[in-house]
Structure 1
Amino acid sequence: MNTINFEERRLRLNEVIKMVGFKRTLIYQRIKNGTFPKQRKDGKIAYWFLSEIQEWVNQSKQSSD
């Protein structure tokens, strides 16, 4: 059986801000509090995986209903 390895889309901070509607400061405060997905780094570049942000958005919508 062949395994297909799809590389997941990486989001930069500006894209995350647009998706969640938070400003930079609030995103980093929530990361520190453990209530937002932690960024990863590739050298000096910080990024988030699209699937983790989408999952966080979905969980936030469910908890607010």
Structure 2
Amino acid sequence: MDNRYLDMRGVEELTGYKKSYIYREIKHGRFPRQVKNGSSSRWPAEQVIQWLNTKFTHQ
């Protein structure tokens, strides 16, 4: 189990998508929701990787 968290830059680098696309996907329930810690947002790396795997296996 991967307990790392990614900031937006890390999510963009891992997925290849820009912030606007990621937030649009969150809004529509198609991307993992961020975890808020004060004013910063982080995404569990494991959930982002699972999202990528699902996205590319269902195309």
TM-score bucket of the superposed structures, by smaller chain: over 0.9
TM-score where L is the length of structure 2: 0.92
Q: Which 5+ residue runs of structure 1 have no aligned equivalent?
A: 1-5
Q: SS at 2:41's partner residue?
A: strand
Give the alignment's Cα RMSD to 1 decimal: 1.5
Q: Give the corresponding residue for 1:47.
A: 42
Number of residue pairs aligned between Structure 1 and Structure 2? 59
Q: Which aligned segments of 4 or more residues in structure 1 are displaced greater than 3 angstroms? A: none
Q: Give the corresponding residue for 2:22.
A: 27
Instruction: Indicate the structure (1 or 2) with the bigger Cα radius of gyration.
Output: 1
Give me the identity figure in percent.
Answer: 31
One-letter amino acid of the counterpart of residue 63, structure 1: H
TM-score where L is the length of structure 1: 0.84
Higher relative contact order (CA 8 A, sep 6+): 2
Q: How far off its partner does 1:27 sit?
A: 0.5
